A and B are shown apart, each in its own frame.
Chain A
Amino acid sequence: MNYKRINLLFFLTFLLCVFSALSFCDVLNSLPQEQVFQSKNKNKNYKLCLQNYNQAISSQNFNAALNSLEQAIGFATTNKKRYELFVMQGDTYFNIKQYAKSIEKYELAVDLLPQQEVAKFKLAGVFETIELYTRAQDVYFDVLTYNPKSFDAIYAIALSYFRDGLYTKALDYFLKALSLKPQNDLYRKTALCANYSGQSDLAVSLLENLTKNVRSYDDYFLMGELLTKKSEYKKSIAVLTDAINLDKENGSAYLYIGINYLLQNDVESAKKNFKLASQKLSNSALPHFFLSLIYNLQKDRSNALAELSKANELSTSPVVRQYCKKLRILIDFPSKKLSDVN
């Protein structure tokens, strides 16, 4: 009997110990983390916080990651370290799409070390993400006040204006960036921007310069497109032929050459190129659409319908479908008055 009592007492004591241990762990967990740090060495604690941060980030626990960074700031011994921690906080908030918080943290970093550019560019990046382009541009211009030849700032201003739809202003900065670093990709972007801002002559001349150094299908194709827009059809055909010489299997240039011939009313040459385009671009509706258009102009109804049905089958884009429908009506009702069809 006594043994039984002792066993029960022992068992109950054991349970009590387990329960107390568990409770103590809970209390520990609920305590603010800084009380857990045993060491008085700030550097050691700082590193520990960063380890915790990395672990939290790898397990996608962003709240814990942010807590670790907050603790780390308390242990940071230099402004440089604090700056980096504010930037990391900004990054983390940015990743979880808390943009206001992200801005707040990047701004703290900027205030701490105003000459450091990383936080500034990241701050501007958040402004761009939430489409506050003017705020972003203010940040880039701030960089230019003490570093007027900062390629990164000039290029970022160009991109920001471009995204904001201010193409003329963007072009000024693309040209400035280009004068600092005449990179091929920058030539391409500047040309596109020049085209958007209505300066197609400049766009073509930039691409001509570019193709002197690097012969690329895409650049010739873009130049061809721009020349067509300028109604310089013959020049466009020549440039697009250069594009074909670089990539014979790419059908887009044939398609565009066909369009250039069609715009000059050279229907037979257009037809020949659209046929070639339809072979190379076997999944594209457009060559068939244009062939149908030509056959209809030539009053060849059966071929027009055959090509239109292929275009319909292959068409995936709403605009092509819409024009296929219109063309179908025009083929079916050739004698109908235009005003009725419209």
Chain B
Amino acid sequence: MKLIAKILLVLLLIYPQNIFASTVDQDKILSDYIWHKFTMLNPSQRPKVAIVLGGGGARGFAHIGVLKVLKDENIPIDIIVGNSVGALVGAMYASGAPSESIEKLAENTGWNDISNFSNPSVLKLFITGKLLSTEKMEKYMEKYTGAKRFDELKVDFACIATDILTGERVVLKEGDVARAARASATIPGLFAPVEYRHRFLIDGGLSDNIPTDIAKLMGANYIITVCVSADFSKNKVSSVFSMLTQAISIQGRQLDDEKLKLSDINIFPKVSDVSLMELNRSRECIDAGSVAARESVAQIKKQLLEKTSNYLLLN
């Protein structure tokens, strides 16, 4: 019995070895060659690739996993458009921070690092109505983006915020990156609006959670969208805050569906059960982003090659 069990144990460990099978696959060799040629092209010789990173609080850590996989696979990113957490992650990536260090940073980031969010401050909010501050978020972003301006970034970047007074969508693509990203990620009803160029700005998710049209306007020929919206039908609406986030989610969903149609490929990391505030689940979200991106890599490469393959065969 013991022997049989040992044999079965060995077989169990041997079983997945076929995933490492080293056969010469003609499709793979040719695809690798064509893709390699693609990666050698100048940006002007290939489609301009944009990634749109949607909002979703803690779920947005999935963006880090997606960006890491795209980088590993040599998929170029020429434009980043982000909203809310997508703006925070996008700004860091566009400033040249490697996804590995963003990943480590995310794992060690709590609400205390980016705001004065705490139990007493939330209590104070309910009693006095005094909104919490995200000043820390701006300092945090300055530290990790090198206090850059938009025109100093390595990748074209824009982020979205909402003017709380007019309800307008505001596209931020000039000036101070840290302040813009902070404004984009200011959750309404919890954090105080950010004053930015005579406007009072809050989270872009209120007016446009997935700004694919901005990516198009910035010249993208190919758009990858990462959507980390919640499955709000499963939420328990039991508190003032949950009611508020639920209302935002419902409104956002309608807008999202329209905006996703402009995208060439949509990546949906499986993070819908993670709540807006659960920063402690960053590892799980990053992994979900990696897995979802891996599932889309072949399709992205195929679509990009379809647009350029003839050029590649002739040069």
Contact of A330 among B68, B73, B291, B313 (CB under 8 A): B313
Q: How far is the CA of A178 from the CA of B50 in the complex (A)?
A: 39
Instruction: Report the separation of the CA atoms of residues A214 and B290 in the bound assembly, to the nearest whole angstrom.
Output: 34
User: Which residues of chain A are near B295, meaning CB under 8 Å?
Assistant: 165
Interface residue from B9, B15, B310 paired with A118 (Cβ < 8 Å): B9
Q: Point out which of B26, B40, B72, B294 has the most chain A C-beta atoms below 10 A from its C-beta.
A: B26
Contacts of B309 in A (CB 8 A): 323, 326
A257 contacts partner chain B, Cβ-Cβ < 8 Å: no
User: Beta-carbon contacts of B1-40 to A below 8 Å, as 1s and 0s?
Assistant: 1000110110011011001101011110111111011001
Across the interface, B34 reaches (CB within 8 A) one of A222, A256, A323, namely A323
A192 contacts B by Cβ under 8 Å: yes
A165 close to B26 (CB less than 8 A): no
B307 within 8 A of A: yes
Q: Residues of B contacting A275 with CB < 8 Å?
A: none
- Size category of the B interface is 35 or more
- Check B9 against A320 for contact (C-beta < 8 Å): no
Residue in A closest to B27 when the chains form the complex, CB atoms? A319
Q: In the complex, are the beta carbons of B12 and A259 less than 8 A apart?
A: no
Contacts of B261 in A (CB 8 A): none
Contact A166 B26 (CB under 8 A): no
Asked whether B30 lies within 8 Å of A319 as measured between CB atoms, the reply is yes
Residues in A with CB closer than 8 Å to B71 are 198
B residues within 8 A CB of A86? none
CB distance from A164 to the nearest CB of B (A): 7
A329–B314 Cα distance when bound, in Å, is 11
A192–B31 CB distance below 8 A: no
Contact call A338/B8, Cβ cutoff below 8 A? no
Task: From A117, A168, A320, give the contact of B27 (CB < 8 A).
Answer: A320
Chain B: minimal CB distance from A237 (Å): 15
Bound CA span A326–B36, Å: 18
Q: Is the interface of B mostly helix, strand, loop or mixed?
A: helix
Asked if B311 CB lies within 8 Å of chain A CBs, one says: yes
Q: Is B138 an interface residue (CB 8 A)?
A: no
Q: For the complex, give the distance between the alpha carbons of A165 and B293 in Å.
A: 10
Interfacial residues of chain A within 110-140, with CB under 8 A of chain B in the complex: 117-118, 121-122, 125, 128
B287 at interface (Cβ–Cβ under 8 A)? Answer: yes
B-contact 0/1 string along A207-220, CB 8 Å cutoff: 00000000000100
Interface membership of A327, Cβ < 8 A: yes
B1 adjacent to A84 (CB under 8 Å): yes
- Interface readout for A296-314 with B: 1 if CB under 8 Å, 0 if not? 1100000000000000000
Closest to A87 in B: B5
- Distance of A263 Cα from B315 Cα, bound (Å): 10
A167 to chain B, nearest CB (A): 8
| A317/B27 in contact, CB under 8 A | yes
Residues in B whose Cβ lies below 8 Å from that of A218 = 22
Is B8 within 8 A of A118, CB to CB? yes
CA distance A149 to B1 in the complex (A): 25
7 sample A-B contacts, Cβ–Cβ < 8 Å, listed by A number:
A121-B13, A163-B19, A165-B291, A165-B295, A167-B72, A196-B72, A263-B36
